[in-house]
A and B are shown apart, each in its own frame.
Chain A
C-alpha cells in the first residue's frame, strides 16, 4: 500500500489532467481544440518513433511514411471508392502492417547508424513514389476532400466529437503501449537495446522481436495518419517529406527519448511553439533547430529529463533552475540515453 501513498499526488495530478482534457471543448474555442487534435495525431507519430528509440534503441526514420500511407489508403478507398466507415481504416492499418513487415525484414538485418540510414532511404522511397505517381496518388496535389463519418448518429465532422473520439483512441492506445513496454516482450526489447548479442546468446529471437516492435510502432504511426487525414481532409507528399520526419525526431528528443511519455510532452511543446511563434516570425525551423541543437548538447534526456534531474536533487525551486550544481548533475547523467 505504500506504493499507493507515494503516488497519491501523482495520481491526483493525472486525474485532474484527464478531466481537464476531456472537458476541453467546453471552455476553449475551436482553434485550441483543433491544436489539441494536432497534438494527438502527431503524438501518435511521435510515440511510434519514441517507442522504437527509447525501448528498442532503433532510430527509424520511416515512421512518417506509415503515417502517410494510412492517410493515402483512407483517401483512395474512403473518398475515391466511397467505402464506409470501418473498411478504409482497417485497410489502412493492414497496408501499414504489410509495408512495415517488408521494410522491417530488410532493415532489421542492420543496427544503429546503418539502420537509421536505411530507414531514411525507405521513407524517401515512399515520398518519391507519392510525389511522382500522378495516376493513382495524384502527385503533388494529393487527395483532397477526406471527411470523417457519421456513426450511430454521432457526427464526427463536428470538431468536439472528433476531439473526444481522438482522445479516447489516444488514451486507449497509450495505455496499451504502456502495458507492452512493461510486458516480458518490452523487457526483452530493452535488453536488445542494451546488448543484442547477449540477448541472442541467451536464446531470444532478437531479429523477430525487433521486427514485431517495428510492426507495433508502425500501427501507431498508421493510427496517427488516419486521424490526421480526417482532420486535415487532405493527404499529399509534403505530409511525408523528410523535414516532417526530422521534426518528429526532434519532438522525441525534446521530450526525452528514454521516457515513455517523452514523445508526447515533446509533441505538445513543439506544436504549441509552432502556434506561438508563427504569429511572430516565419523562422520556426530556425528557432526549433537551435532548440534541437541546445537540447542535444546540454540536456540529452530532454525536457522530462531536466525535471526529473531537478526532482531527484530535491532542490527544485524557481531560483536554482540554472544553478551550477544542476548542470554538473546533468552532465554526469548524460550517458543515460
Chain B
C-alpha cells in the first residue's frame, strides 16, 4: 500500500513537471503583457507533433526536444512581430488573435498528423529503470522532473539575476515608466512572448512523451494551463511551481481513486481559490 502511494506521488510529480513547463510559459506572458495566450494549447500540440515526427525520422529524442521548442519559439516570434504587435495594448483583439491562431494551428495539425492518438517513443538509453529507496521507477520520468527543475531555475535566474529580468519585472508594474527610462519595452514583449512559446513547445515534446497527443487535445491542455495560473496566481513563477505540484498530485490520485472524475477534480482547487483568494495563491491583485 505504501509502495502504491509512493508511485502515485511520483506520477503526480511527473504530471506536475509538465504542468509547470506549460503554466510558467503562460504566466510569464500574462504577467508582463496582460495577454492570455489562448493558443498556448495549440502551441503545445504542434510542438509535440513536430517532436513526434523528428523522433520518427531520426530516433533522436533530445533533438526532438530542441526542434519542438525552437520551432514553436520561431512561430511565436513571427506571430508576435506580424500580428500581435499591431494590436498591442488592447486586451480583446490580442486575445482574439491568439484564439484565431489556435484554430488555424489545430486544423493544420489535423491535416498533417490526423491520427487518433500518438505518443513519442523514448529511446532506451534515456529510460533506464532507476531504483531509489527500494522502488523501481522509469528513469525517463526522473529526467522529465530534472528538465522541469532546470527550466524553473533558469527562469528564476533570468527573471531575478539579469538585466532583462529586471526590465521584465519592472514592466509588470509600470510599463510606461519602463519605456520612459529608455528601455525598448516592445523588444522585451517580443522576448517574453518567444520565451513563452518556447516553453509551450518544450512542454509539448515532454508531455507528448508521457501523455498522448490527440486531435482536439489542445483545449484540454489550454484549460489545464489556465487552471495552473489561476490557482497559482497570474504572473507568479512561484505560484506556478506550487499550483502545478498540487494539481499534479490531484490528477494522479484522482486517476487512481475516482477515475470517473479525474479531470473534473482539478477544478476543485480552482473553485476554492477563486472563492477565498481570487488573485491566486501567490498572485497580486490585478
Contacts and interface: CB of A to CB of B under 8 A. Distances in A.
A242 B103 contact: no
Contacts of B100: 250, 289-290, 292-293, 296
A285 B106 contact: yes
A121 B270 contact: yes
Contacts of A116: 36, 95
Contacts of B35: 113
Given A132-B261, A243-B216, A297-B97, A118 B274 contact: yes
A59 interface: yes
Contacts of A131: 263
B242 to A, nearest CB: 18
Interface in B202-235: 216, 219, 222-223, 226-227, 229-230, 234
B169 interface: no
Overall SS of chain B's interface: helix
B113 interface: no
Contacts, number: 110
B227 A121 contact: yes
A15 interface: no
Given A109-B278, A117-B226, A246 B103 contact: yes
B101 interface: yes
Interface in B230-286: 230, 234, 260-264, 267, 270-271, 274-275, 278, 286
Query: Which range holds the interface residue count of chain A?
Result: 35 or more
Interface stretch (B46-54, B83-91, B175-183, B188-196): B83-91
Nearest to A125: B267
Contacts of A292: 96, 99-100, 103
Given A106-B274, A110-B278, A129-B264, A289 B107 contact: yes
Query: Which range holds the interface residue count of chain B?
Result: 35 or more
Contacts of B278: 109-110
Interface of A: 59, 106, 109-110, 112-114, 116-118, 120-121, 124-125, 128-129, 131-134, 241-243, 246, 249-250, 253, 283, 285-286, 288-290, 292-293, 296-297, 300, 335, 337
Given A106-B274, A286-B103, 9 more contacts: A117-B226, A121-B226, A124-B223, A132-B260, A242-B222, A243-B103, A243-B216, A285-B104, A292-B103
27 contacts: A106-B274, A112-B91, A113-B30, A114-B234, A114-B286, A116-B95, A117-B229, A118-B230, A118-B274, A120-B38, A121-B227, A124-B223, A125-B267, A128-B267, A132-B261, A133-B260, A134-B260, A241-B219, A243-B219, A246-B102, A249-B96, A286-B103, A289-B104, A292-B99, A293-B104, A296-B93, A296-B96
Interface of B: 30, 34-36, 38, 83, 86-87, 90-93, 95-97, 99-104, 106-108, 110-111, 216, 219, 222-223, 226-227, 229-230, 234, 260-264, 267, 270-271, 274-275, 278, 286
